[in-house]
């Protein structure tokens, strides 16, 4: 009874919470240590190879002599994220590993092994239509290799994948879809955007607080007399505006060093406001919004793997 008298309800609650947290941590560690297969196919990039312009004094032809106006490269990475190696025998015979493109897409030539490990025995060959079968000898944990597909005219062509690996539950059609983002990416983007958007309001609040109860002279001459919370608020509030001022000042000085109508490098980049709008769309919807830098639709906000642009 005397021992119980020294233990409060708060201590008991904290003890239970600590035990629950320790149990959850043990489960997570056990899952991490558990060997499992985690082979994925991921679309890692959609890149511009060439886009035609009327002012170019040359033309681009394929190996057969046919003229090419717009060519794009789609990179797809094979990566073993798991803790266990995957061998050729682990691929289902009835459901082989395949990468598929929209039936209307025109793929130029044969896909290439773009970069990555050359020791996994990777090979890829065309099955039927726009379907490509992927095969390999063995992919160890954390090994990867990236494939390259050259596409004519449609950079945003729909890409999908299918297949069955024994001892693995990953859905290849989900991992290869670059039109969606993970929950953690959405949370990270949301926090970043809140940090950016709330900074000016923090600056206004901090300035009002400073001049209402203190003064700018006190901040300069007696900074120790200013509360730490106010100092933090002012510091946070000045970060984003100062970065914006520095960025736009750099562009302004660059423009002043050129004729007024002369285009600078920044004119060919997506607008920052549109970039922030695309990030907000991604954070709120989970769709991977991007701003196009293609000459065909420069500045357009779109979702990859969603429609042809």
Task: State pLDDT tens for residues 191-231.
Answer: 888 888 888 888 888 888 888 888 878 877 777 778 888 88
**Pairwise pLDDT comparison (139 vs 274), residue with the higher score:** 139
Which domain-ending residue is among 175, 195, 210?
175
Same domain, yes or no, for 195 and 112?
Answer: no
Residues 6 or more apart whose Cβ sits within 8 Å of residue 218: 225, 226
- What pLDDT was estimated at residue 1? 42
Task: Report the alpha-carbon distance of residue 148 to residue 72 in Å, rounded.
Answer: 10
Q: State whether 164 and 56 are in the same domain.
A: yes
Helix (H, G, I), strand (E, B) or coil at 84: coil
Domain total of the chain:
2
Q: Which residues of 36-48 are buried (b: 16+ CB within 10 A; e: fewer)?
A: ebbbbbbbbbbee
Mean pLDDT over 176-189 rounds to 86
Is 117 among the domain residues? yes
Burial (0-12, 13-18, 19+ Cβ within 10 Å), 68:
middle
The C-alpha atoms of residue 189 and residue 196 are separated, in whole angstroms, by 11
122 in Cβ contact with 78 (< 8 Å): yes
Residue 265 located in a structural domain: yes
CB 112 within 8 A of CB 145: no
* Last-in-domain residue among 175, 205, 232: 175
Do residues 169 and 199 both lie within one domain? no
| Full domain range(s) for residue 147 | 39-175
**CB-count exposure of residue 52 (10 Å: 0-12, 13-18, 19+):** middle
Do residues 100 and 148 both lie within one domain? yes
The answer to whether residue 102 sits within a structural domain is yes
Residues 114 and 236 in one domain: no
What is the arithmetic mean of pLDDT over 127-151? 91
Give the helix/strand (H/E) hosting 109. strand 106-116
Calculate the average pLDDT of the chain: 82
Q: Are residues 49 and 163 in the same domain?
A: yes
Domain final residue pick, 143, 175, 207 = 175
Number of C-beta neighbours around residue 104 at 10 A = 11
d(CA 129, CA 198): 51
What pTM does this model have? 0.73
Residue range 251-273, pLDDT digits in tens: 888 888 888 778 777 777 777 77
- Which H/E stretch holds residue 146? strand 144-152
């Amino acid at each position: 009874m005397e021992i119980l008298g020294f233990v409060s309800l708060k201590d008991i609650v904290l003890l239970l919470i600590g035990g629950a947290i320790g149990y959850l941590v043990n489960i997570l560690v056990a899952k991490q240590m558990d060997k499992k297969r985690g082979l994925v196919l991921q679309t890692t990039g959609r890149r511009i190879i060439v886009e035609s312009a009327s002012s170019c004094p040359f033309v681009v032809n394929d190996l057969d002599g046919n003229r090419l106006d717009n060519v794009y490269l789609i990179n797809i990475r094979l990566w073993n994220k798991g803790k266990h190696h995957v061998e050729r025998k682990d691929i289902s015979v009835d459901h082989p590993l395949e990468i598929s493109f929209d039936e209307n897409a025109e793929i130029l030539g044969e896909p290439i092994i773009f970069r990555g490990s050359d020791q996994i025995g990777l090979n890829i060959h065309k099955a039927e239509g726009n379907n490509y079968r992927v095969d390999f000898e063995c992919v160890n944990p954390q090994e990867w290799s990236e494939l390259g597909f050259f596409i004519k005219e449609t950079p945003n062509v729909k890409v999908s994948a299918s297949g069955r690996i024994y001892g693995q539950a990953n859905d290849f059609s989900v991992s290869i879809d670059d039109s969606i983002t993970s929950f953690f990416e959405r949370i990270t983007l949301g926090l970043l955007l809140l940090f950016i958007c709330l900074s000016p309001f923090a600056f206004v609040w901090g300035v009002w607080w400073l001049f209402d109860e203190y003064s700018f002279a006190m901040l300069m001459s007696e900074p120790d007399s200013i509360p730490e919370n106010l100092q933090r608020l002012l510091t946070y509030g000045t970060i984003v505006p100062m970065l914006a001022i520095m960025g736009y000042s750099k562009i302004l000085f660059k423009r002043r060093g050129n004729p007024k109508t002369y285009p600078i490098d920044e004119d060919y980049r997506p607008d920052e406001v549109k970039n922030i709008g695309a990030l907000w769309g991604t954070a709120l919807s989970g769709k991977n919004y991007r701003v196009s830098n293609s000459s065909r639709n420069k500045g357009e906000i779109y979702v990859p793997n969603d429609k042809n642009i």
